[in-house]
Amino acid sequence: MDAIVKNDKKIENAWALFDWANSVYSLVISTAIFPPYFIKVTREYIPILGKEVSNSALYAFAVTLSYLIIALITPLLSGIADYKGRRKYYLKRFTILGAIACMGLFFFDGEQTLWIGLIGFILATIGHAGSLVFYNAYLPEIVTEDRMDKVSAKGFAWGYIGSVILLIFSLWMIMRPATFGLPEGHLPIKISFLLVGLWWFLFSQVTFKYLPHNKAAGHEGGNIMLKGFQELKTVWVYVRSSFDIKFFLYAFLFFSAGVQTVIFLASAFAEKVLHFETSELILIILLLQLVAILGAYLFAWVSQKLGSKTSLIIMIIIWIGICFAGYFVQSKITFYIIAAGVGTVLGGIQSQARSAYAKLIPQGTLEMTSYFSFLDFMYKMSIILGTLAFGIIDQITGNMRYSILALAIFFVFSLFLLSRVKIRRV
């Protein structure tokens, strides 16, 4: 078993590089290119099981199903990963699944291949989301508490930088296909899907090489499935009895529901409601990502000065304003301004949520993956909650603006819950 040395620069960088590797999926596929592409190549209403379903609602429901599946399996796998010391094993398996499924999206080009688009997207999303719980659980084991904010921010920043590089290349290829000997049309977009899968797979190999295996929390023998459930039950008892961890997880559920739903569906909203072209949407996402790099470090600094709780509260208030602005937006220029606001708090709220939760976990525990599985479970439930609500409201009203406005309610709930949590300052 590899020894885990805290604050080792090589290990820290290998950990952060995984953000560089897999963030291209969350940016290029689930945020920038795939949602508007899905809307563009399908009819506004698609017959599903005898019912006409809005294409934007169908996409939202595909996200919901992806996270419902992963929410059911990763808590068990996390317990087993702690008990058997197999965190890196599952990190690899989910990464491979996601990368291959992402490359498979190359073959989705319209309603005749809708099943490829839906299955490929669902499997790739499962691979991406499934890997993150094992990745995040490494943070408290590779760095000391006083460096968690900085290293967590480094991971997000590297992820934004790497994904922006590939997104810029994709934009170039989509806007100037003749430069690459490609015809006008959908082929450059589909090649982007292929490149994301390759990027994700290849760069993650560096992480796999240098990250150590976690120390097993249990001993050989016995029913490993039962051991996994027992470990999760043990951690759940502590979570349930810890007021601060419990209320933080509830607050996280609601603000993450708003944040992640915006990430998944903002570009679909812009394409369907404001009629943005793919190239315009990519420019917006680039703006958002570049601002998010600064935002991640800005709110890491705010956290050091004022504490993680205050930093999160400030960002949640900004998110509430963003939801109301999104409801009233009419012009493309205004949408650009809103996107800049989203970027300011996007990287910060994800980074600070991860490090704030790490500060609430008992120091020295061997069940670190199981603790983070609860954060990850709430993350996945938040996406289920947010995208399901978004899709239902969109399907009922036929207006995505009401879906955006409804997200403000999630942030208001989270603000109330977080106000009751005490997070230690270091």
More confident residue, 366 or 5: 5
DSSP SS3 for 184? coil
224 pLDDT higher than 70 = no
Give the model's pLDDT for residue 271: 86
DSSP letter string over 114-141? HHHHHHHHHHHHHHHHHHHHHHHTTHHH
- Decide if pLDDT at 232 tops 90: no
Encoding tokens for residue 235?
A: 């951690």
Query: What pLDDT, on the 0 to 100 scale, is given for residue 134?
Result: 81
Tell me how far apart the alpha carbons of residues 411 and 11 are, in angstroms, rounded to a whole number: 35
- pLDDT at res. 324: 93
Each residue's pLDDT tens digit, 353-398: 877 888 888 776 666 666 776 777 788 889 999 999 999 999 999 8
Contact 144, 7 (CB under 8 A): yes
Q: Answer yes or no: are the C-beta atoms of 257 and 403 closer than 8 Å.
A: no
Give the pLDDT score at 347: 74
Share of the chain above pLDDT 70, in %: 90
The closest alpha carbon to 383, from 122, 189, 145, belongs to: 122
What DSSP string describes 305-330?
A: HH-HHHHHHHHHHHHHHHHHHHHH--
Q: What pLDDT is recorded for position 387?
A: 94
Residue 154 confidence (pLDDT): 84
Using one digit for the tens of pLDDT, what is the confidence trace for 128-184?
Answer: 988 887 887 788 778 887 787 788 878 877 887 888 899 889 989 998 999 999 998
In this prediction, residue 294 has a pLDDT band, given cuts at 50, 70 and 90, of confident
Q: Give the pLDDT confidence of 59-104 residue by residue, as tens digits.
A: 999 999 998 998 888 767 766 666 666 788 888 999 999 999 999 9
- Summarised one tens digit per residue, pLDDT across range 173-220 is 998 999 999 998 899 999 999 999 999 999 999 999 888 876 655 555
> Torsion angle of alpha carbons 114, 74, 386, 423, nearest 10°?
-150
Q: What tokens does 117 get?
A: 């688009």
Euclidean distance between CA atoms 277 and 21, whole angstroms:
27
**What are residue 48's DSSP bridge partners?**
51
| Strand ranges, E, within 24-68 | 45-48, 51-54
* Three-state secondary structure call for residue 45: strand
Mean pLDDT, the chain, whole residue set: 85
Segment among 225-229, 268-272, 328-332 with least mean pLDDT? 225-229
C-alpha R_g of the chain: 21
Please name each of the domains of the chain with its CATH number.
9-418 (1.20.1250.20)
Residue of 46, 66, 47 lying closest to 56 (CA atoms): 46
Two tokens, residue 265 = 């569906």
pLDDT of residue 398: 86
How much is the pTM? Answer: 0.80
Q: What is the DSSP string of 330-397?
A: -SHHHHHHHHHHHHHHHHHHHHHHHHHHHHHSPTT-S-HHHHHHHHHHHHHHHHHHHHHHHHHHHHHH
pLDDT of residue 58: 94
Q: Other C-beta atoms within 10 Å of 114: how many?
A: 18
The conformation of residue 220, written as its DSSP 8-state character, comes to S
First to last CA, the chain: 31
Tell me the mean pLDDT in the region 247-270.
Answer: 90
Mean pLDDT of all residues in 333-352: 86
- Between 283 and 259, name the one with better pLDDT: 259
pLDDT in tens, 16-62: 899 999 999 988 888 888 999 999 899 888 988 778 899 999 999 99
> How far is CA 192 from each of CA 98, 102, 121, 167, 280, rounded to the nearest angstrom?
15, 10, 14, 8, 16
Which amino acid type is present at position 96?
I
- CB-based contacts of 61, cutoff 8 Å, min separation 6: 53, 387, 388, 391
